[in-house]
Amino acid sequence: MVRTKSFCWGSSALLFLCLVGFFSTPAKAALKTYRFDVQVKNVSRLCHSKPIVTVNGMFPGPTVYAREGDTLLVNVTNHAQYNMSIHWHGLKQYRNGWADGPAYITQCPIKTGHSYTYNITITGQRGTLWWHAHIFWLRATVYGAIVILPKQGTGFPFLQPYKEANIVLGEWWNNDVEEVVKQGNKLGLPPNMSDAHTINGKPGPLFPCSEKHTYALEVEQGKTYLLRIINAALNDELFFAIAGHNLTVVEIDAVYTKPFTSQAILIAPGQTTNVLVQANQVPGRYFMAARPFMDAPVSIDNKTATGILQYKGIPNTVQPVLPQLPALNNTAFALSFNAKLRSLNTAQFPASVPLKVDRHLFYTIGLGINQCTTCHNGTQLTASLNNITFVMPQIGLLQAHYFNTKGVFTTDFPDRPPTPFNYTGAPLTANLGTKLGTRLSKLAFNSTVELVLQDTNLLTVESHPFHLHGYNFFVVGTGVGNFDPKKDPAKYNLVDPPERNTIGVPTGGWVALRFRADNPGVWFMHCHLELHTSWGLKTAFVVENGKDSDHSVLPPPTDLPPC
C-alpha cells in the first residue's frame, strides 16, 4: 500500500502539484493522511470581524482529495472551546459507522484538547462529496469539499474538462452563530437568519466591504471547465447560475447522471452537483450567483451571493453581468429541474433499483408547538417525523447498539403515522402534540426498503432536504399533494431514477425512496435544514448484522472519543 502525505491546500500552485501527484501515482490504492486542526480564528466579512471555528485556520476548510479505492486517515485535533465531530457527507462507510461522524449517533464528540482519527475506505464511489461539523450549528463555518477522482486509467463518462474548480455555497452570520441559536431557543422561535450567502466563503461585491471578499475563477476562451458545486448552507435551498453560460449537469451526490443543460441549477443543503461550463462567450467578466429558493410563507435571507467568471486577459475594471436567476418562489422551475435528473444506468454505472420491496415505510414531516417552561412564551416550535420529536441521547447510539447497552434507545419507531389525516389540506392549526423519544426503526440486513416522505400542512407546508447517512437511495417517485399508495407507484421510475444521499421533499408534496439495507450499523436520517434538525426532525435506522462477520459492524477503534 502506498503511503502518501496529502496536504492539498493553500496556493493554486500547490493544488496543481497535488493533482499532478494523484494522476501520477501507481494504480493500486493509496493511504492518504490529513491533519485537521480545529481552531478559532478571527475572520472579517461584511465590515464585521468575529472569531469563528475553522479547520487549519481556513474558511471554508481544506479540500480532501482521494481516488476511488483509497483509504483516508484524517486526524482531527480539537483546539476550540466547543465539542466537535466531523461528518464525511455521502461516504458510505461500509460496516464502519465509527467514522461517520454525527455526534451522539455514531460517536461521542471530540472534547477540547483531544484527537480522533477517522479511518475511511472509499469503496465504489467517485465524484464530489463534502465534510462538515455534525454538532450544534458549527457547520456554519466548519466545512469543505471531498473530491474523489476515478481509479487510475478510468476517465469521466463525459467530456474531459480542461480544468476544474470547487464552488462551495454557504451562509454568513455577523454575530456568533451559537449565540444566535441560544437566543432563538430562549424565545422558542427560529433564530435570526443569516446576513449573507457566500461562494467559497466570500459574499461578493453586492455586499459592503466585500471587494476583497469575492471569489474569481479565471477561464480561457474555448475551454471546458468542471465545476464541483456544494450547498453547505445551513438553512437555504439555492439557485445557482452564471451569466451568459449554460450549465451541463453530469453528476449529483457523487453519482453520474445523464447529461442535460440548464441555465440554472437548484441545489439543497447537503447536495452536490457537478456541471460542465464552456467558456464560449465574448471574453469578459460574468457574475456567478446564488440566492435562495423558498415557495413557503417562511422568512429567509433573500440576498444574492456572487463570484466572477473572468476570461483571461480581461481587466478587473470591466463591469460583470448578472445572470437571470429563477424567482425566489419559482416552484415550476424547481420541479422541472429535479424531474430532469436521471441516473446514467450503463453497464459500467448501473442503476440497481430494488424492484421487490420487503418493507414499506411512510413518514410524515410535521411542524408543531410544544410546551416549554424555559421559553419566554411558554411554548416552542418543534418538528417531528410520524409525530415523534427525536431526543438526542447522551452516548453514541452505535456504541449502545454494538455493546447492547439498555435504556439508550428503543426500536419501536412506527412504520406509518399514528393518526392518518389530510396531510396537505387546509392549514392545520390544531396541534397534534408531538411525542418525545429516542425511537429508531430496525431493518433486517439486506432487506429492501421503500420510504415515502410526506410533507404536511401542520402550521405550514415547507420543503425539506432529507439526508440518509451510510447509504445512497433511488428517488423512484415524487409529487405534490398527498401520496396515493394505490395510484402513485404506477408512475414510479424504476429504470434510471436519480441516485443520491440527500433529497428535497417538495413543499406540500412527497418523495418515494428505495434502498437495500446492506450496510449494518446505526445510520442517522434527518432534515438538512439545521433549524429543523435542532427542533427534532430526525431519526435513525438500526440495520442488523448479516449472518457472517463480513456483514457485521466492525469493532470500534481504540481512540473512539469517550462520552
pLDDT digits (tens, 9 = 90+) for 195-238: 999 999 999 999 999 988 999 999 999 999 999 999 999 999 99
Q: How confident is the model at residue 2 (pLDDT cuts 50, 70, 90)?
A: very low
The winner for highest mean pLDDT among 4-8, 208-212, 304-308 is 304-308
**Residue range 60-109, pLDDT digits in tens:** 999 999 999 999 999 999 999 999 999 999 999 999 999 999 999 999 99
Distance CA 552, CA 96 (A): 9
Percent of the chain scoring above 70 in pLDDT: 94
Q: Give exposure, 311-345, as e/b (b: 16+ Cβ within 10 Å).
A: beebeeeeebeebebbeeebbebbbebbeebbbbb
Average pLDDT over residues 270-294: 97
pLDDT of residue 298: 80
CB neighbours of 168 closer than 8 A, spacing ≥ 6?
60, 130, 143, 144, 145, 199, 200, 201, 229, 230, 232
Distance CA 471, CA 465 (A): 15
Between 429 and 407, name the one with better pLDDT. 407
**Residue range 340-382, pLDDT digits in tens:** 999 999 999 999 999 999 999 999 999 888 888 888 888 888 9
Q: How confident is the model at residue 431 (pLDDT cuts 50, 70, 90)?
A: low
> Distance between alpha carbon 191 and the CA centroid of its chain, in Å?
21
Distance CA 311, CA 245 (A): 12
Q: Are 409 and 397 in contact (CB under 8 A)?
A: yes
pLDDT of residue 443: 98
Average pLDDT over residues 297-314: 91
Mean pLDDT of the chain: 92
**Residue range 457-480, pLDDT digits in tens:** 988 888 899 999 999 999 999 999
pLDDT of residue 335: 95
Element (H, E) at 235: none
Between 9 and 364, name the one with better pLDDT. 364
Beta strand pairing call for 464-468 and 502-505: antiparallel
Element (H, E) at 261: strand 255-262
Distance CA 512, CA 452 (A): 4
Q: Please report, for the chain, the start and end positions of each structural domain, with discontinuous segments joined by +.
A: 31-149, 163-340, 359-551
Between 19 and 517, name the one with better pLDDT. 517
Q: Print the SS3 string covering 396-425.
A: CHHHHHHCCCCCCCECCCCCCCCCCCCCCC
| CATH fold match for the domains 31-149 and 359-551 | yes
Q: How confident is the model at residue 192 (pLDDT cuts 50, 70, 90)?
A: confident
Residue 59, CA atoms < 13 Å, CB-side half-sphere: 24
Q: Are 480 and 491 in contact (CB under 8 A)?
A: no
Whether pLDDT at 15 is above 80? no
Distance CA 336, CA 338 (A): 6
Average pLDDT over residues 263-292: 98
- Identify the sign of the CA torsion 308, 314, 320, 324: negative
pLDDT of residue 429: 62
- Would you call 29 exposed, middle or buried from its count of C-beta atoms within 10 A (0-12, 13-18, 19+)? buried
Q: Are 448 and 418 in contact (CB under 8 A)?
A: no
Rounded to the nearest 5°, which phi and psi values hold at 59?
A: -140, 110
Whether pLDDT at 5 is above 70? no
Domain 163-340 belongs to what topology?
Answer: Immunoglobulin-like (2.60.40)
- 31-149 homologous superfamily: Cupredoxins -  blue copper proteins (2.60.40.420)
Residue ranges of E strands in 448-497: 448-455, 464-468, 473-480
Distance CA 229, CA 188 (A): 34
What residues pair up with 308 in beta bridges, in sequence order? Answer: 216, 287
pLDDT of residue 183: 87
pLDDT of residue 458: 86
Average pLDDT over residues 172-188: 88
For the 359-551 domain, the top CATH level (class) is: mainly beta
**Residue range 402-426, pLDDT digits in tens:** 999 999 999 999 999 988 999 998 8
Helices (H), 51-106: none
> Could you tell me the pTM of the whole model?
0.94
pLDDT of residue 20: 39
The full DSSP string for 274-334 is EEEEE--SPSSEEEEEEEEE--SS-------EEEEEEETT--TTSPPBPP-PPPTT-HHHH
**Matching residue, cell 449517533:** 105
